[in-house]
Structure 1
Amino acid sequence: MKKTSQLPYRIDQEELFQRMRISKDRPKYKEFERSYQSLLETLPDLLEIQALHVLKRNNEDKKIHKGLCEVSHIVYCMVTLGPKISEVSTKYFMDKDFLKGLMIDSMADILLFNASNDYYETVKKDVYEDQGYALTLRYSPDDNIIPMQVQKTILDHVNAEELLPVGITKGFMYNPVKTLGYVYGADKSIELAKKDHDCIMCSNITCEYRSIDV
């Protein structure tokens, strides 16, 4: 029986403000700081970060990515923040509090990205250290090379609709939206990748977390 992992949250004001292009010379910088602190205090009530992964044989007729053609197994992973944080963001926009709406949404993006990074250690221990399957880099569905339909494949393999509060729309978007699905190749005859993911290998060139120039 697969078990979900409960994950802590991790966020940094400096990173958030950098992504939102909020600098100290902005006229309303103190207002931004107050909004951040106010939202930060609400996070424990808004977050239920859960993650799940499963190791399965790589026997899909159509491979997810050319980098996963030769490995014997695939690790399907999912991380979600739960629905509350997006519901709160939507309410702020409905109430025309656009600053807090945008800020809590940006916070959620960072929280989700950090949670998926932190979950790598759990996946590595289970699949590599305990079972002996080395991991490739992470691969995620996007609009370029890996079709968004793979989001449904991941959802099905981890049995997320039963074990997590996650569903999927007809357009293959996760519900709640602050959810990530991704995969690793796994094989006993390869070396462990030196890192979880590498922006050079990712085809999603519009990702705001991309750390290389294109």
Structure 2
Amino acid sequence: MNKVTSIPYRIDREELFERMHIYETQSQYGEFMRAYDELLILLPEVLNIQGIHVLKANDEIEKIHKGLCEVSHIVYCLVTLGPKISELSTSYFMEKDFLKGLMIDSMGDILLFNASNDYYEVVKNDIYIKQGYALTMRYSPDDSIIPMKFQKSILDYTNGEKSISVGISEGFMYYPVKTLGYVYGADKDIDLAAKDHDCKTCSNLSCEFRNVEE
């Protein structure tokens, strides 16, 4: 079975407030701050951030992306926050506490993105440092270039259903909702990519974390 890694959580209030368009000049700013502080205390109770990856020969007939046609191997990665954070968001909406429902959901998005970024060091240490396979940049299934059906391949190859309790719908959406699947190309005859992820080369143009500024 592939090794499961627990990932510490990391979130920045300023980033969250910017994404939620919350500013100090707003009359409700104090309410926003109180909601954030209350939710922050709950995070250790509702988070079970786990990552898993596997190195596999690039022998599939259908390639995930044109940038991965020539590499000898693919690294399949899966990161999840677990189900409780989304369940908490749902419970707030059911109680008509829309502020906390929206805020904890937005916190989950940031936590998942940060966790996948932090997990890169684990992948690099295992695949590049220990095994000698340099990594390309990250590629993620989306609605544009990489078909969503590859989410199923990532889940299957990582054994994510048994190892970290991630399932998938008929429409190839993961559950728990706050789960991210992605891949790297790996090869002993290439150079290590300078970045884990580059928004300029990503085909997911609707991603809320997209940043193409220099």
TM-score normalized with structure 2 length: 0.99
Residue matched to 2:60: 60
Query: Structure 2: which 5+ runs fail to align?
Result: none
Residue matched to 2:122: 122
Structure 1: distance between partners of 2:135 and 2:3: 20
1:44 aligns with 2:40: no
Structure 1: distance between partners of 2:166 and 2:130: 28
Structure 2: distance between partners of 1:136 and 1:163: 25
- Give the fraction of aligned pairs with identical amino acids, expressed as a percent: 69
Structure 1: distance between partners of 2:146 and 2:4: 26
Residue matched to 1:102: 102
SS in 2 for 1:52: strand
Structure 2: distance between partners of 1:47 and 1:171: 25
Structure 2: distance between partners of 1:212 and 1:136: 19
Question: Shift in Å at residue 212 of structure 1?
Answer: 1.7
Structure 2: distance between partners of 1:84 and 1:172: 21
Q: Which letter maps to 1:91?
A: S
Residue matched to 1:181: 181
Question: Shift in Å at residue 2 of structure 1?
Answer: 1.2
1:164 aligns with 2:137: no
Structure 2: distance between partners of 1:187 and 1:3: 21
Structure 1: distance between partners of 2:98 and 2:209: 23
The correspondence of residues 6-155 of structure 1 with structure 2, limited to 5 A, is: 6-155=6-155
Q: Which letter maps to 1:120?
A: Y
Question: Shift in Å at residue 16 of structure 1?
Answer: 0.2
Residue matched to 2:205: 205
Question: Shift in Å at residue 3 of structure 1?
Answer: 1.2
Question: Shift in Å at residue 139 of structure 1?
Answer: 0.1
Q: Deviations over 1:156-190 (max 9, x none)?
A: 00000110110000110000000000000000000
SS in 2 for 1:74: strand
SS in 2 for 1:10: coil
Question: Shift in Å at residue 200 of structure 1?
Answer: 0.8
- RMSD, aligned CA: 0.6
Query: Structure 1: which 5+ runs fail to align?
Result: none
Question: Shift in Å at residue 40 of structure 1?
Answer: 0.2
Structure 2: distance between partners of 1:10 and 1:131: 28
TM-score normalized with structure 1 length: 0.99
Q: Deviations over 1:137-164 (max 9, x none)?
A: 0000000000000000100000001101
SS in 1 for 2:103: helix
Q: Which letter maps to 1:137?
A: M
SS in 1 for 2:123: helix
